Structure 1
Amino acid sequence: MEGRRVVGWAARDASGLLSPYSFTLRKTGPEDVVIKVLYCGMDHTDLHQMRNEVHSTNYPLVPGHEVVGEVVELGSEVKKYRVGDMVGVGCMVGSCGRCLSCNSNIEQYCNNRIFTYNGIYKDGRPTQGGFCSAMIVHQKFVVRIPEKLSPEQAAPLLCAGVTAYSPLRQFMGSGKVLNAGILGLGGVGHLGVKIAKAMGHHVTVISSSDKKREEALQHLGADAFLVSSNAAEMEEAANNLDYILDTVPALHPLQSYLSLLKVDGKLFLVGVSPKPLQFDATDLILGKKNITGSFIGSMEETQEILDFWAEKNLTSMIEIVKMDYVNKAFERMERSDVRYRFVVDVAGSNLE
């Protein structure tokens, strides 16, 4: 199987513009799954990587780490999947398999994790993502898409969904109605609202302006809406939230949000700011408040969020686009002009 030619769309330089790119996949190993890509979600991280904004990008770069496709071929030792199965691939395609993180089923924290794109695979070749016709992935890093979920609906769950789910799953089954804050109403934020609501939490969406109020309350089912630039509203809401899921992928002041937390409240950072964030240590100390990070999710959690989504009959709010529209879609994503996630119909696009 060595030399399977595929066509993808790649960035060639820090302009981040994507155009057709032909390359060959690695040889299929005994535990590998060959996947025909059907859909791939578009993520803010794609934009950062395409433009070389977070850590050094190896060009040409084929982005995409919310990949849903159909199994078309199996390595000789794959027992989990069959040809024809609908499967997903998220942000990772490998890890060392031996460290404490890997042995604890939190392989996303392995120091030798291999990202789906802009990584180096064990054979020394660069990894390329889901903006292409096919992928070869080790079976451990493949998840099953539940039959009840349509493939395009499943795509955003493989990064954005599990990113919101992983820190919140610690509250599952607590039996308490927690006061949740979701900061930022983009791709991760809108899924965070749905997950927190499905867990039975009282959800407040926190946004810098009033323009998403109706969307949050009427379409996403949030219980309250808070405008962070309104000092009176923020003061009234002080010391009220058990946790805040901070999904903002840009520089923003943590100070005012920490004031919203109860004693022992947690602020989960899941959005990557390209510049350092600041806070006042006194606020943390006097309120016994916690700032903590959470990175994507484990393979186990990725499967859990897919099953949870299907079980609760939830839907993602997506806009489906063809590959020839992706550059325009990334421009729109930067302006927050999408409700709330673009998904590329890869199989239905002319990739050449």
Structure 2
Amino acid sequence: MSISTKALQKTDPESPFQVKLIERRDPRPDDVVIEIRAAGICHSDIHTIRNEWGEAHFPLTVGHEIAGVVSAVGTDVSRYSVGDRVGVGCLVNSCGECEECVAGEEQNCLRGNVGTYNSIDVDGTVTQGGYAERIVVNERFVCRIPDELDFDVAAPLLCAGITTYSPITRWDIKSGDKVAILGLGGLGHMGVQIAAAKGAEVTVLSRSLRKAEIAAELGAHRTLATTKEGFFEEHRGEFDFILNTISADIDVDSYLRLLKPHGVMAVVGLPPTAQSLHFNALISGAKVLTGSNIGGIRQTQEMLDFCAEHGFGARIEKIGVTGVDEAYDRVVAGDVQFRFVIDTSTFNEVEAV
């Protein structure tokens, strides 16, 4: 037996989204059934379903920024009850036994984790994501959404929030640290809020000063234009930490020279092409260039609680299920501040085809 639910689905990269009926598995003893209230749009969704990264399994429903309410639980579920406010991020399964999983780092599962969509699940089926009315997920991969966070501003935290929170926390950003956020988009705007809430002096690095006002609203001390003549010399050796959120080619060496000795650049944006690096930019000043990919479930819960405690979520624009194709084009054009979120109640307005 399975659960039938409306979902936005594509049958190939070029076709528009359609509302279809898809089947979720009948809950296993350790499963939670979630009625989805809000689903964020991540640029990864776009890359995947447009098959820009290859290996998309069609027909496909994407979405890994999911917020909703528990509507049913399996017989062995102990963490959640019907009516609980919950969220699901980028993962829905892992081995649970390797050293990374035991350490709460399921994103690094040594046997291979299972993504929320476009992954092969343990039963051999392709996982289908959160642009839907409901989803069934193992309780280990469900987080509790604090009452202080509305569903729509909480949903993007399950990806954009944890993606930026994890490196900021790993490198112990604290009061007095001079932090630069490179790029003020879906990821960058969360990085600004999180670093500022930890007490850092936050600078946004952008090509222009166009977003300076909203950067200040988010908690940035200032915004600097990287295209200004002499920028890299003027600000050489200024920052303790740079969070690089952009998915475009940059002069890595020049940005590393903005760091103080022993400074860190953490990369969470993924450019489409390989980037050039001269090791001297690292050796000089004993600097660190590191990457980060989301975080484990335990840290994701920590991030949600942190955001609730400090009174912020994602800055969003809410859309209905019929507006996703247009929203994708706007994301690619950079025309959103800062995350689109699908109001899944609008599935009621559309018949499945």
Shorter-normalised TM-score: what interval? over 0.9
1:244 aligns with 2:242: yes
AA of the residue aligned to 1:33: V
Equivalent pairs counted in the alignment come to 349
Pairing 1:345–2:343 present: yes
* Matches of 2:342 and 2:220, distance apart in 1: 28
Distance in 2, matches of 1:348 and 1:304, equals: 31
Flag structure 1 segments of 5+ consecutive residues without an equivalent: none
Q: Show the 5 A alignment for 1:58-137.
A: 58-111=57-110, 112-137=112-137
Give the 5 Å matches for 1:1-352: 2-15=1-14, 17-111=16-110, 112-172=112-172, 176-217=175-216, 219-349=217-347, 350-351=349-350, 352=352
Shift of 1:72: 0.7
Q: In 2 relative to 1, CA 102–62 (structure 1 residues): closer, same or farther, beyond 3 Å? A: same
Change (3 A) 1:135 1:208: same
Using the alignment, how far apart are the partners of 1:318 and 1:78 within structure 2?
Answer: 33
Give me the CA root mean square deviation: 1.4
| Structure 2 unaligned regions, length at least 5 | none
User: How many angstroms does 1:27 deviate by?
Assistant: 2.4
| 8 Å contact kept, 2:157–2:313 | no
Contact 1:204–1:222 (CA under 8 A) maintained in structure 2:
yes
C-alpha contact 1:16 1:51 (8 A) present in aligned 2: no
Taking structure 2 as the reference length, what is the TM-score of the superposition? 0.95
TM, length-normalised to structure 1:
0.96
Q: Judge which range, 7-16 or 142-151, deviates more.
A: 7-16
Name the % identity.
40
Offset, 1:170: 2.8
Change (3 A) 1:153 1:32: same
Give me the whole-angstrom Cα distance separating, in 1, the residues matched to 2:15 and 2:242.
Answer: 32
Do the aligned partners of residues 225 and 234 (structure 1) sit closer, same or farther apart at CA in structure 2, a change above 3 Å counting? Answer: farther
Whichever residue aligns with residue 103 of structure 2, its letter is S
Q: Determine the C-alpha separation between the residues in 2 that align with 1:43 and 1:251.
A: 20
Question: How far 1:22 sits from its partner (Å)?
Answer: 2.0
Q: Match of 2:202, as an amino acid? A: V
Offset at residue 320 of structure 1 (A): 0.6
Contact kept in structure 2, 1:54 and 1:274, CA below 8 Å: no
Q: Deviations over 1:68-105 (max 9, x none)?
A: 01111100000111101110000000001111111111
Letter in 2 for 1:183: L
